[in-house]
A = this chain, B = another copy of it.
Amino acid sequence: MLSKKAKYALKALEYIAKQSDINPILISEISEAQNIPKKFLEAILLELKRAGILKSKKGKFGGYNLQQSAEEVNLGFVIRLIDGPISLIACVSDKYYEPCAECENEATCGLRSVVSEVREATTAILTKVTLADLIKRELRLKKSKATKK
């Protein structure tokens, strides 16, 4: 499962991406709009900034903006950043690889081979979908809901 932190990060990024690029967005504005505890959100945004996704401006009329474009930021990157490995077992993880303690032979482990397939399928989706896609999806869903009425 995703941690709340990762979910907050994605919600916050989506919110920032939806606003105009001109004015920096306040932490407190995001916090209220998305129901995220403010102090917790501060830490999250800072992490996203360090990772190069966001940029910030200090002082009065400061706040956060995207550093990369909404088309560049994919969900897999964010989730990996905040929650760590996406794979179900570390022995099939690319970025967070660790050998299994018990498993004597990784190359012939059946479980590993299955979990590896799951990882491929999961990351294929998560790294393909960007913030921009997320916003587009939302619009599409809202439209199809409206026409159904």
Contacts and interface: CB of A to CB of B under 8 A. Distances in A.
A145 interface: yes
A88 B121 contact: no
A22 interface: no
Contacts of A110: 14, 133-138, 141
Interface string A24-66: 0000000000111000000000000000000000000000000
Given A1-B90, A85-B1, A108-B145, A126 B118 contact: yes
A125 B113 CA distance: 11
Contacts of A2: 88-89, 115
Nearest to A33: B102
Count identical subunits in the complex: 2
Interface of A is mostly: helix
**What's the interface size class on A, roughly?**
35 or more
Contacts of A138: 108-110
A29 to B, nearest CB: 15
A64 to B, nearest CB: 19
Given A1-B89, A102-B11, A141 B107 contact: yes
Given A34-B102, A85-B1, A89-B1, A10 B141 contact: no
